[in-house]
Amino acid sequence: MASLTGKIVLVTGASAGIGKATAIAFAKEGSRLLLCARRLDKLQSFQQELLSAGAEAVHAFALDVRDHSAVDAAIAALPANWQKIDILVNNAGLSRGLSKLHEDDPENWEEMIDTNVKGLLYVTRAVVPGMVARGEGHVINLGSTAGHLTYANGAVYCATKAAERVISEGLKIDLMGTPVRVTSIDPGMVETDFSVIRFRGDEDKAAKVYQNITPLQAEDVADAIVWTASRPVHVNIHTVLMTTIDQANSMVLHRHS
């Protein structure tokens, strides 16, 4: 297991859910944490928790990954001692709505594509050249079982996660000949605010998604992320496809009676 102590880890969408759990998991490894999300106050609310957990240092900043110029400016403006990013966790992402494609609101498509695909590309483009120049680095992208098998009423979300999977594969090919690693972490059902966001705050509707199922927790996914990052530097874990024991794929679930 390679040491992650002192490694600079950038986590996007770090204010809650898998992003927050990932920050805590890297903190326990003694990493230096670069955290961004749209709401800076949410990041600052658990900064002391990260330091207490073992983070060597924490630097948080507000960023909407959908804004290309803002991404470039934010990465360029990082303090000198934070610029050598060792690990990038492209976690920022969301789903909106659960409707038939021909009946859906195109605004939902715009938000998902801009965040899940274009946002991932913007941050990757801003960070990876530095990794290549320094001869080290690891890009860890958050995918989904939805990128492997399309489910009803989720065509565009599934398409964004299929895009993430293909982008990860293509990036790894493009980085051949460099020591920079690329991993796609593809979880199934995870109990976070994902469904609350999808249903725009309808908590009752969101709760039914996890009814009579034992879902993954954000900490399970964070554990997989840290595991891939801690492999020896000559080892590249291309894809981690993970689900709860109650899920076979994005469509087949076992609900307890």
Q: What structural domains and CATH numbers belong to the chain?
A: 8-242 (3.40.50.720)
* Under 8 Å between Cβ of 129 and 85: no
Tokens 């949410």, residue located: 42
DSSP string, 135-182: T--EEEEE--GGGTS--TT-HHHHHHHHHHHHHHHHHHHHTTTSS-EE
On the CB side of 198, CA atoms within 13 Å amount to 19
Q: Catalytic residue among 122, 151, 157, 210, which?
A: 157
* Under 8 Å between Cβ of 27 and 39: no
CA 16 – CA 199 distance, rounded (Å)? 17
* Under 8 Å between Cβ of 222 and 21: yes
Q: Which pLDDT tens digit goes with each residue over 89-100?
A: 999 999 999 999
Give whole-number Cα distances, 215 to 66, 72, 119, 123, 240, in Å.
29, 36, 27, 29, 17
Listed in sequence order, the residues at least 6 apart from 75 whose beta carbon sits closer than 8 Å to its beta carbon are 123, 126, 127
* Per-residue model confidence (pLDDT) at position 195: 67
* 157 counts as catalytic: yes
* Per-residue model confidence (pLDDT) at position 18: 97
Tokens 């230096």, residue located: 32
Low-confidence ranges of the chain (pLDDT < 70): 195, 202, 206
Residue 132: alpha-carbon gap to chain centroid: 21
- Nearest Cα to 140, choosing from 94, 173, 171? 171
pTM, entire model: 0.96
